């Protein structure tokens, strides 16, 4: 491949990866064509991008970016995968695909999260963390919990008291008029 072609590919990769801070590196070599199409369709539904790229070209394209550290310890041809809601949901999807027997040679090899490199086993650990939506629901539950508890305690005592008090005219015979 000529230097001119490498420069064109590098510029295209930089343009595609502009604004991407977190990504994972996966191995898709050996995946049959029909499985590859099914994999890409599955990822596309979740707004996840998959790009098979030569390692040296990916290194050149990501120099000076946060993705640079993803390619420090990788060798051979691999695929870069990014997108989704956040890096945790991306890691969850990658691990789910890796565990699916239909996509047998698909394996996570590493990646980069917040500028720090990840190894393949760390990707599996990150996939067990709560996603952004889960974290927000946990936080809102913790914020609302004391108020809901106080409200139930106040209303519970008032309801108990109200059930013990007889209202005027209740339970008594009304005089005939």
177 residues of the chain, pLDDT tens digit each: 788 998 999 999 999 989 888 999 999 888 899 999 999 999 999 999 999 988 888 888 888 888 888 887 777 778 999 998 889 999 999 999 999 988 888 889 989 998 888 888 899 999 999 888 888 888 888 888 887 777 777 777 777 767 777 665 555 555 555
Burial of residue 128, with CB atoms counted within 10 A of its CB: 0-12 exposed, 13-18 middle, 19 or more buried: exposed
DSSP 8-state class, residue 171: S
Of the candidates 47, 66, 58, the residue with the CA atom closest to the CA atom of residue 113: 66
33 lies in the same domain as 68: yes
143 lies in the same domain as 125: no
58 lies in the same domain as 100: yes
28 lies in the same domain as 83: yes
107 assigned to some structural domain: yes
Asked whether the beta carbons of 105 and 28 are under 8 A apart, the reply is: yes
84 lies in the same domain as 31: yes
Q: How far apart are CA 177 and CA 172, in angstroms?
A: 15
CATH number at residue 23: 3.30.70.1730
Contacts of 145 (CB under 8 A, 6+ apart): none
54 assigned to some structural domain: yes
117 assigned to some structural domain: yes
98 lies in the same domain as 134: no
157 lies in the same domain as 125: no
47 lies in the same domain as 80: yes
81 lies in the same domain as 69: yes
CA-to-CA dists, residue 34 to 39, 46, 47, 74, 102, angstroms: 9, 19, 20, 26, 10
76 lies in the same domain as 151: no
Burial of residue 1, with CB atoms counted within 10 A of its CB: 0-12 exposed, 13-18 middle, 19 or more buried: exposed
61 lies in the same domain as 24: yes
Contacts of 138 (CB under 8 A, 6+ apart): 130
3-state secondary structure at position 113? strand
176 assigned to some structural domain: no
Domain containing 83: what range?
Answer: 3-129
103 lies in the same domain as 152: no
């Amino acid at each position: 491949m000529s230097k001119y072609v490498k420069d064109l590919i590098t510029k295209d990769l930089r343009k595609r990866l502009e604004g991407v801070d977190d990504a994972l590196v996966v191995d898709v070599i050996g995946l049959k064509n029909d499985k590859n199409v099914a994999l890409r369709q599955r990822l596309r539904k979740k707004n996840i991008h998959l790009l098979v790229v030569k390692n040296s070209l990916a290194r050149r394209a990501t120099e000076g970016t946060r993705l640079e550290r993803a390619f420090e310890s990788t060798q051979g041809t691999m695929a870069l995968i990014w997108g989704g809601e956040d890096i945790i949901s991306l890691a969850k999807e990658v691990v789910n695909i890796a565990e699916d027997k239909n996509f047998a040679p698909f394996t996570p090899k590493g990646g980069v999260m917040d500028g720090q490199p990840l190894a393949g086993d760390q990707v599996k650990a990150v996939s067990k963390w709560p996603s952004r939506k889960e974290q927000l629901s946990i936080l809102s539950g913790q914020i609302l919990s004391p108020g809901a508890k106080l409200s139930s305690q106040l209303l519970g005592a008032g309801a108990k008291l109200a059930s013990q008090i007889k209202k005027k005219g209740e339970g008594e015979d009304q005089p005939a008029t």
